[in-house]
Amino acid sequence: MYRHYLQWHITHECNLHCIHCYQEDCHCVMVYPEMVGTLDKYEEYIRAKGFEGQINLTGGEPLLHPDFFRIASEIRRRGIRLGILTNGTMIDAKEARAIAELKPVFVQVSLDGGEKVHESIRGTGSFPKALYGIDRLKEQGVKVLVSFTVMQQNCREMKAVAAVCARHHVDKLWWDRVVTDDPAQYLTTEQFQDVSRTAAKLAKRYPFISNSRALEWIPEGGCGYECSAGKRLLILLANGDMMACRRLPFVIGNIREVSQLQTFLEENEIMKKLAAPSFPQDCVSCKYFYKCAGGARCVTYAQTGRLDLKDVNCYL
């Protein structure tokens, strides 16, 4: 069955202030009955399309939302899959037990380096707290993914992050590039190539490493990335704004003003444009063309303002 993902940023509040974070202040957040109404619209959409739905609750820090457990239980009551994306720093034994009861498909915790580098990005004290959270979740049998966002500041930390994940029995480590127009943060192509090679080498020792995002598969020769923007992903911000992808700066509408999500999404010009195959000119003679279609449009768009160029970090 085709799986559709709703990435729901239920709050934009956070207890951390990471240097790379794309979250902005957001007012007009929904009260609980509105959240349930939103869920009704999403459920109607996936049922009508015959999709299996998955809602990934995120933020800001989703565990700061006063109705986090209420809305998460409601999602599960409707038989919709649940994922949770958190910084992990607020998870103690009690919280981990409550999360385990929700039976999420995974909880994703962010680690952005070994202790020193992670804390230079995420703030003092954030590293042991995130690991404490991971350990409590693992004790409860929850599947834990680690998300490692790679930027200039931490591009030599792959080995350190992988070793920490191994020590803490993390189920999967996936990494992706920061999306920013700040040259002090984004990776040069050489840095990206270097991280990709390191990750490919480490994956032989640590099979939990996933190198499946745009262009990360090149050192291994395989290929398995497809940008889901416009297709099987919808982003919902705390004020009801919808986006095709959190990493592309296009708001497509507000769910509070939409009565039927299916019609809205099928008729939306931005969704249609992003769903259409992209064929950057510079890629046409590449042997990976049909599988890669130009790499990460979000990373490239942030740096160039264009959707029709090949990945800014492609070294082929």
Ligand X SMILES: C[S@@+](CC[C@H](N)C(=O)[O-])C[C@H]1O[C@@H](n2cnc3c(N)ncnc32)[C@H](O)[C@@H]1O
From the list 32-40, 53-61, 221-229, 276-284, the region that binds ligand X by CB under 6 A is 53-61
Contacts of 172 (CB under 8 A, 6+ apart): 106, 143, 144, 145, 146, 208, 210
Residue 134: HSE in the Cβ half-sphere, 13 Å Cα cutoff: 25
Token duo for residue 140? 């409860």
Residue among 259, 193, 266, 274 nearest 228 (CA): 274
What is the Cα Rg of the chain in Å? 19
Binding of residue 54 to ligand X (CB under 6 A): no
Nearer Cβ to ligand X, position 20 or 45?
20
The three-class DSSP label of residue 167 is helix
Classify burial at 198, counting beta carbons within 10 Å of its beta carbon; exposed 0-12, middle 13-18, buried 19 or more: middle
Cα(109)–Cα(107) distance, rounded to whole angstroms? 7
* Shortest Å, Cβ 221 to ligand X: 26
Binding of residue 277 to ligand SF4 (CB under 6 A): no
Binding of residue 110 to ligand X (CB under 6 A): yes
Binder of ligand X out of 10, 29, 39, 61 (CB under 6 A)? 61
Binding of residue 60 to ligand SF4 (CB under 6 A): yes
Nearer Cβ to ligand X, position 86 or 300?
86
* Shortest Å, Cβ 65 to ligand SF4: 12
Site string for ligand SF4, 87-116 (x = CB under 6 A): x-----------------------------
Residues at the interface with ligand SF4 (CB under 6 A)? 14, 16-18, 21, 23, 59-61, 87, 283, 286, 288-289, 292, 294-295, 310-311, 314, 316
